[in-house]
Structure 1
Amino acid sequence: ERKSIINWFYRESFDIKHVDIIAMRQPGTGEWFFRRPEFQGWVQKNSNSPILWGYGIPGAGKTFLCSVVIDHFQERKRTANYGLAYMYFDYREQEQQGPYQVLASLVKQLLFQLIPLPPPVDELYKRLEPHGKRPSLDELYSILKVSFTEFDQVFLIFDALDECDQKRQRKALLPLFHRLAQSGTHIFITSRQHPEDIRDSMSASASIELSPSIEDMRLFIEQRIEENVRARRIVKQGKCKDLIINELIQSAQGMFLLLHFHIELICEETNVRLMCRALQSLRDSSNEERPLNPTYDRAMTIIKNQGKGSTAIAMKILSWLVEARRTLSVDELREAIAVENNRYELDEYDWTDKATMLDVCAGLIMIDEKSNVIRFVHYTVQEYL
């Protein structure tokens, strides 16, 4: 019955995206963050605000760092009576990011950590559920406050707040976060710096600029080269490992997303000279006003220079992802791109496999393996297209 009560508050899973991010993250990433005085002051309540706002440019790796922070407190929970709840916001999931859904998810996560459930939880369930009713927003907030009292400290973590719609979500969420902060919780929020409403709301909060450390970027590059047999052989032959690492770090301009695309580009080359030319090309494009655009331009050139069939599939995939009003599963997109004029039946022989879908799109899309959701590798791809 305990599980039924908890799921009554919020039926959706809350950890799928976190698990997918962990699978893509290099071990040791983000350890520098815990040494920063802003983080330590926030944890120890030495700062003037219970909210720590982490801001950074698009593609800086804020989501990966957020996952590191979540794992940090997951580990601390083993030896301390900490409550932890989190939410990854996504521009494609606006309907799941209103105040009601956020509170319901937080309630579910904290209740999972409590045995037994607090009496008010059981009382609310028995009063409403038999009549097919759901808790109101105020009732959710009351249950959340009850759950706070069961822990010595509570940490709430919200990633990519800027991906919430300003009028439909952020207008209500920002006051809600400050209200939660007044209940004795620690709140960590990440976003871009420039949405004016977020910047204004966080003006009195502790803040920290988020950008990947040199160590994180070096670790990422070394791992990618090591995983690619041909690239590993060419780099060893040319004795150019340090050159590649230094050039890639410089051309990335503090963006992990750029680093991801650039290392993939380098690893595609077939000899030392071509690798060096590719590095020069990246160096020349690093002064662009929109630094991601040349990278996306190159990806689109690769897509258009494929065989006719591969290009057609890639363009269908990109078009569907641009126009979709919600996230799409791999199976949904497979079916959509398989549709042809004057055909009224489809079967598995019409479907494009995952590997091909990823390959023809030249790194612009990704698949979350646990949720089987297919999406752009970053929201800036949508803006570019």
Structure 2
Amino acid sequence: MDPLSLSASIITVVDLTTEVITYLNHVKDAPKERRKLRSEALDLCNLLYSLDDYLASCGSNDPWSVELAKIAHNDGPLSQYKEVLGQMAAKVQGNVGLKKAADALRWKFSKEEVINMLSFIERLKTLVVIVLEIDQRYVVLEIQNSANEVKDDTGRIQSAIGLLQSGVDHERYKAIVNWISPIDFIAQQSDIIPRKQDGTGEWFLESPEFKSWRDTTPPLPPHKQTLFCPRIPGAGKTMMAATAIQHLQSQTRGDSDVGMIFVFCNYKEQTGQYADDLLAALVKQLLQTRPEIIKHVSHLYDEHSEKSTRPSLTEILSVFRSLLKNYSVVYAIIDALDECPNEQARSRDTLLNSLRDLQQGSDVRILVTSRFIPEVLAEFETTPTIEIRATDEDVRQLVSAQMHDLPKCVRKDISLQNAIRDKIAEAVDGM
């Protein structure tokens, strides 16, 4: 849809909203919901006017307007709202301006209609606010030439549209996501990546085993759905997992058919490290990247929130299977499987068996990192394997990044710097 047509759609919605607002200003014998509906409708009108103003300054090929056009297609949120609004406006047409007439306006809407209308307005307001915020960022991003951030933002628009189409309001969506799991592995990933030295880990991403696991056209043969990555202590296992996560996120960004989920097992954590906790955290990440699939979890949330109970492992796996049907492939990275507790509840075994069970019906590609623990190694005897080691090139990269902290005499002597890099790489020997 070109900007002119989109603008016309926005103005049509504004006109219909204004007609309903006029009715709300004059109506008599209205319940208390009238004031709330009028206030929300006025706020939406102001946002839509701002949206139309921004649109007027955009070209037809502007990436922002291209994404924005998606909200106005035939089945889009703007069209859905316009249809509901048109039905409401039809009830009041011909009555506007009759405030002083004998047949003064009467309240014409049921409570259910008002609730439905408020829900549509709230969801559309949320989407418009996101779009307007993103437009401001595009100006900055264009200056900075940050293509990845632009892709992230268009993804936010698509997610917002998906949530709107799911019929779930934003507050309920957040409540369900936070309920399914309080663990935020995405935040942990964000904490780890800034410590990564640029250029390190490339050997791992370019290895034939990783490429085969990542790129083979689905469906992948069962014996190739899992990639095992053992490491010796100190070899940077978690950093390599974070590197793979960052790489896959970059490769799959914008493709809603591909899922990317991960967990960081940590024996130091007292909670959230059992199989049901970790599997629920993986479900949470799928919901965060595809809000429209929240409907698969809504019934479970309603059932348990009333009783303040948690879902069972069986229920979590059932929801997990339902969500996987929305993807052509899902990449799942399990870092430090050896640190998942296994003494009492056998959580490590349960986690691994559950993931393997999920692989039976869907293309779930699992990458596991672990220390060389015999009972873990025994689980992956026939699995494609890459040993994680600190390569000489990675070590040199890390040492080079620290050269600025060395004495001036070293910083001035290139041959001495090379010797330092070589000696440290030799001493590390893959650690």
SS at match of 1:179: helix
- TM-score normalised by length of structure 2: 0.55
- Match of 1:14, as an amino acid? F
Q: Secondary structure at the match of 1:242?
A: helix
Deviation (angstroms), 1:237:
4.5
CA distance in 2, matches of 1:159, 1:94: 17
Contact (CA 8 Å) 2:213, 2:225: kept in 1 or not?
A: yes
Q: Aligned residue pairs: how many? A: 252
The one of 5, 10, 14 aligned to 2:185: 14
When the two chains are superposed, the root-mean-square deviation of aligned CA atoms in Å is: 1.9
Residue 241 of structure 2, aligned match among 66, 70, 75: 66
In 2: Cα distance, 1:3 partner to 1:42 partner: 33
- Note the 1:5-154 alignment, pairs <5 A: 5-45=176-216, 48-80=223-255, 81-154=257-330
Aligned partners of 1:16, 1:114: CA distance in 2, in Å?
A: 18
Gaps of 5+ in 2: 1-171
Please say if residues 89 and 159 of structure 1, whose CA atoms lie closer than 8 Å, have aligned partners that are also in contact.
Answer: yes
Q: Shift of residue 172 of structure 1?
A: 2.3
Q: Is the counterpart of residue 173 in structure 1 residue 351 in structure 2?
A: yes
Kindly indicate whether residue 387 of structure 2 is the aligned counterpart of residue 209 of structure 1. Answer: yes
Shift in CA distance, 239/100, structure 1 to aligned 2, threshold 3 Å: same
Query: In structure 1, what is the equivalent of residue 370 of structure 2?
Result: 191
| Separation in 2, partners of 1:13, 1:4 | 14
Partner SS state of residue 412, structure 2: helix
- Unpaired runs of 5+ residues, structure 1, are 256-385
Instruction: For 1:237 and 1:112, locate their aligned partners in 2 and report how far apart those are by CA, in whole Å.
Output: 51
Identity of counterpart residues, as a percentage?
31
Q: In 2 relative to 1, CA 26–208 (structure 1 residues): closer, same or farther, beyond 3 Å?
A: same
Q: Does 1:161 align with 2:337?
A: yes
Which whole-Å CA distance do the structure 2 matches of 1:238 and 1:143 have between them? 58
Q: CA deviation at 1:94?
A: 4.7
Specify whether residues 166 and 137 from structure 1 end up closer, same or farther in structure 2 by C-alpha distance, changes over 3 A only: closer
SS at match of 2:260: strand
Shift of 1:74: 1.0
Looking at structure 1, the residues matched to 315 and 295 of structure 2 have their Cα atoms a distance apart, in angstroms, of: 14
From the superposition, tell whether residues 165 and 125 of structure 1 become closer, same or farther in structure 2 (CA, over 3 Å).
Answer: closer
TM-score normalised by structure 1 residue count:
0.62
Q: CA deviation at 1:174?
A: 2.7
* 1:175–1:232 CA distance, 2 compared to 1 (3 A): farther
Asked if the contact 2:296–2:323 (Cα under 8 Å) also holds between the matched residues in 1, the reply is no
Question: What's the CA shift string for 1:168-207, capped at 9, x where partnerless?
Answer: 43232232232233242000000112x1211111112211
- Which fold has the larger relative contact order, with Cα–Cα distance below 8 Å and residues 6 or more apart in sequence? 1
Structure 1 or 2: larger helix share? 2
Rg (Cα) greater in structure? 2
CA distance in 2, matches of 1:239, 1:72: 34
